[in-house]
Amino acid sequence: MNCCGLFLRSAAVRAWPALVAFTVSRRSLRTSLQTRAFAKELFLGKIEKKEVFPFPEVSQDELNEINQFVGPIEKFFTEEVDSRKIDQEGKIPKETLEKLKSLGLFGMQVPEEYGGLGLSNTMYARLREIVSLDGSIAVTLEAHQAIGLKGIILAGSEEQKARYLPKLASGEHIAAFCLTEPASGSDAASIQTRASLSEDKKHYILSGSKVWITNGGLANIFTVFAKTNVDSDGSVKDKITAFIVERDFGGVTNGKPEDKLGIRGSNICEVHFENTKVPVENVLGEVGGGLQVAMNILNSGRFSMGSSVAGMLKKLIEMTAEYACTRKQFNRNLSEFGLIQEKFALMAQKTYVMESMAYLTAGMLDQPGFPDCSIETAMVKVFSSEGAWQCVSEALQILGGSGYMRDYPYERMLRDARILLIFEGTNEILRMHIALTGLQHAGRILTARINELKRGNVTTVMDTVGRRLRDSLGRTVDLGLTGNLGAVHPSVVDSARKLEENVYYFGRTVETLLLRFGKTIVEEQMVLKRVANILINLYGMTAVLSRASRSMRAGLRNHDHEVLLANIFCTEAYFQNLFTLSQLDKYSPENVDEQIKKVSQQILERRAYICAHPLDRTS
């Protein structure tokens, strides 16, 4: 690991092994040079316009190609997929799986030379919108290709790709991703599964257990992560290595499917490896480089949750709107009441933002330069998963008792949505990743300036005081989004100015936080959560401004509606950011972190709610 920047150190490694796995400098699994990452520059108070303006477009040929798939897939999910039956029986029918295979959905991102569809990230996101109409099917396909076989695409040798990808693309073989263990969830570095090199050095002997493995009972091919002995600087160390494991290698068993709250038709179970002989040729990537492989797999796939959730919410809005426009109470349709209207505006806004973030990120990933988008993909995942939970809950509130009944699909959608905040990295861990990765980037660049401030360099101190004085007097911020040469359409200029102001003061706050906390910032989780929340809002604002500007200039249908949604979100996010920035001030009266810590400490010491009962007496 490269211990560069202001705050990554050995104590941080001990305290946050999972975060270090996320923030460690990674060897790119692509061969092209990386371009400047958009989100990281926000930590410096900068907007890299060329990365996000104009909103990415696809060629007409690509659009025509993907539309050939959209119709048949939509027809299949609408007419043939029985989501209620899948949920009740706890499995996807064999004939449904076979149809998914015939539609090519098991090989959406597998390159064409290996029998897949070879879709770009943008086109993959489009199909994910449709697949998400059934949560169990969506999770099954996601586990197969976004993580199960993705390692072979990213890190596999040509021989490994030729051997495994064709049957995985056709669905003849199904893949699973085996990382989580009983004692290691988010802390991936603490896994106990071990692979030992045989005496003849031709095989690794793999033993251990994995839990909550999606497709665990269906899979023929497993991407498995295990500890191995690695020679390093003259000593032997435990390091994680990734392996491609076939069920036919022997010693591979699985438990019964878990009885779950939601996504009940997906096959999630324990997978056990007992003295499984894995040929050395099946090491995925480098020996000892498995954690790097795992993080690259997870980072590359999270963006599609935005389009998946958006697809589900669009359908939910349709169904709920039909109910609200026909259900009468007090001699009026529900749709006429202000509090019901507010819920629809919220659902539309959340859908628009996550959809915009997802396709903006997909466009970035599709660029030849392949920027490091690990922060952007994590932000899409956090925003869309929390938006899904909030929107489905609001829909049930509109539907009242009908939403709570199993005769209707809404309660199933609520149960299915809850897992989104947990898998592919919990939202708590991802918020830490978002904040620490960006702060590390800012720390490397601001180190010299911060050291000069600490030493009391007169020039640097006076410059900082002058900037803060100008800021306090109401600085006019211009980061190039508006004006004659601006990037945004005139209809969203006010929102763009709000974004510019937020970005500028966020950059100033980042510098202050690094000066205030230094290396210990890795321990300040509540501070890091606020940093991440601001950044998520900034990225959402950027995405909707870019998309709405494109829609206005292109004259797309209902472009005025997009402008409304963009301006509403930017206004709300702007004021949320102002409040959160104020909480990050050292002497902020709005900050109650110390009180929160004290309350939780008292509860956890006694492992109970400790207040006296309201009926208790002292005598």
On the 0-12 / 13-18 / 19+ scale of CB atoms within 10 A, 506 is: buried
- CA 85, 91, 94 angle in degrees (round to 5)? 95
The CA distance from 220 to 235, in Å, is: 36
Q: What are phi and psi of 313, to 5 degrees?
A: -70, -35
| 414 and 381 Cβ atoms separated by less than 8 Å | no
Q: What are phi and psi of 30, to 5 degrees?
A: -105, 160
Q: Which residues make beta-bridge pairs with 181?
A: 184
Q: What are the start-end ranges of the H helices in 247-303? A: 290-301
Pairing of strands 235-246, 221-232: antiparallel
- For 588, residues 6+ apart whose C-beta sits below 8 A from its C-beta are 582
CA Rg value for the chain: 25
DSSP 8-state class, residue 477: P
Pairing of strands 332-333, 252-254: unpaired
Q: What are the start-end ranges of the H helices in 333-426? A: 338-365, 374-399, 401-404, 410-418
The CA distances from residue 417 to 271, 388, 392, 510, 573, in Å, are 25, 6, 8, 33, 24
| 110 and 149 Cβ atoms separated by less than 8 Å | yes
Q: Which residues make beta-bridge pairs with 227?
A: 194, 240
Which tokens hold the place of 549? 């500007």
Name the region of 196 (left: φ>0; alpha: ψ -120 to 50; beta: rest).
beta
Q: What are phi and psi of 358, to 5 degrees?
A: -65, -45
Q: Which helix (H) or strand (E) holds 216?
A: none
The CA distance from 95 to 329, in Å, is: 44
E strands along 189-259, which residues?
194-197, 203-214, 221-232, 235-246, 252-254
> Catalytic site residues?
424
- For 410, residues 6+ apart whose C-beta sits below 8 A from its C-beta are 316, 319, 392, 395, 396, 399, 402, 403, 404
Asked if the peptide bond before residue 257 counts as cis, ω within 30 degrees of 0, the response is no
The CA distance from 160 to 153, in Å, is: 9
Pairing of strands 268-279, 221-232: unpaired
| 504 and 45 Cβ atoms separated by less than 8 Å | yes
| 229 and 196 Cβ atoms separated by less than 8 Å | yes
Which tokens hold the place of 154? 């990213």
Q: What are phi and psi of 251, to 5 degrees?
A: 75, 10
- CA 354, 355, 358 angle in degrees (round to 5)? 85
DSSP 8-state class, residue 193: -
Please state the length of the chain: 619
